Copies of this chain bind each other. A is one copy, B any other.
Amino acid sequence: MDGRAKSAAAVTLAEVAAAAGVGESTVSRVLRNHGSFSAKTRDRVMDAVNRLGYVPNMIAGTLASAGSRLVGVIVPSFSNIVFADVLRGASQALDDSGHQSVIGVSDYDPAREEELIASMLSWRPAAILLAGLEHTERARAMLKGGGARVAEMLDIDGNGLDLVVGFATAETGRASARHLLARGYRRIGYVGHDLSRDTRAAKRLAGFEDALAQSGLCLIDREIAPVPSSVEVGRDGLERLLARRPDLDAVYFSNDDMAVGGYFLCLSRGIAIPGRLALFGYNGLDVARLTPQPIATIRTPRVLIGETAARLALTGAPAQTVDVGFELIEGATA
C-alpha cells in the first residue's frame, strides 16, 4: 500500500482493550495469563488481539515491571566452534525459560569486552554470560554493581564474580603433558596461536610446561603465530617447527583446529603418526575425532557449560563454582 517499511504506529494494549470492551489491566492479565479473568473475557480479548494483530511491546513491559528477560552473552569469537557450542547450550536453556539472548563478540579483546558489558548493562539484562575469568578492572566493577547475575564460563582457574562454570584449564594442559610423557615422548614441541589474547590457551600451555618441568623436562621448541587459531596456522606452524627441530617426537597444539592442520601436514609429507611424530590437540572437535586417525585431545563439555551457566543464572542459584570436568581422548595420534 504504502511502500515504506515502517507501517502505521503499532497497535497498543489500550487499543486492544477498547476493541475488546475491557480495561487495560484485564488485557494485560489475559496476555500474561496471570491473575484471574473469566473464559468469556479471555475469548473477547484474544479475539481483539488477533483481529488487530497486536504485538506486545516488551520494552514498555520491561520498563514497567523492572525486570527484563534479556540475557547478555559475550563470546571472544564466532570463528571457533567452541563458542558456538557454548552459545548453543546457553541459547537452549534461555529459550526454554522464555529469555532472549543479546550477543556480543569481544574478539578476545578485554577493552572491547568492557565496552560490550557497558552497553549490555544498559539493557538491564537478567544475567550476563562471559567466557573466562579475566576482565578489566572496570568491567569487573560494572558487573558487580550491575544488578545482573554473572556467569563466567569455561575456566575455573581463578576468582569468579558470581557463578563460574567450567573446568580446570591449566589441568588440561598438565593432563596432556602427562599423557605424552607416559607414552614415552620426550622431545616435545608446541605449536600455538596468539596467546596474549587467548588467555585460556596460555593457561593450558603453562599447565603443560608445568607438568613437563615436574619430570625434569621442558619444551624443546615452540612456534607461536600472533594470529587467531586456524587449520592453516597449525599446518604452517608445524612446518616451521619441524624445519627447525626435525628431531621432535611429539607436538602439543593450542587446539584441535591447529592440530588438524598439523595432521594434514603429516599426511601430505608422509610423516608417520604417531611413529615418527605424535600430535596432541585440545577441544575434542568432531572433525578431529573423524580424521583417519582420531586426534589425541581433551574433550570439554561446552554445550553443557553454556546450558548450566544459563540455567543457574536464571534460577537464582547462589554464587558458586561448578567444575564440569573434561575428558582425555586417547585418539590414535599419540
Contact = CB atoms under 8 A, between A and B. Distances in A.
Contacts of A95: 104-105
A37 interface: no
A148 interface: yes
Size category, A interface: 35 or more
A293 B307 CA distance: 38
How many identical chains are in the complex? 2
A261 interface: yes
Interface in A111-134: 118-124
B105 A148 contact: no
A102 B73 CA distance: 10
A10 interface: yes
Interface string A122-153: 11100000000000000001101111111000
Contacts of A119: 100
Given A5-B149, A88-B79, A147-B5, A59 B57 contact: no
Contacts of A142: 53, 55
A295 to B, nearest CB: 12
Contact of A287 (B56, B57, B260, B268): B260
A232 B57 CA distance: 44
9 contacts: A55-B121, A55-B142, A56-B122, A57-B124, A100-B119, A101-B103, A101-B104, A102-B103, A257-B287
Interface of A: 5-7, 10, 53, 55-60, 62-63, 68, 70, 78-79, 81, 84-85, 87-88, 91, 95, 100-105, 118-124, 141-142, 144-150, 162, 230-232, 235, 257, 260-261, 264, 267-268, 286-287, 289-292, 319
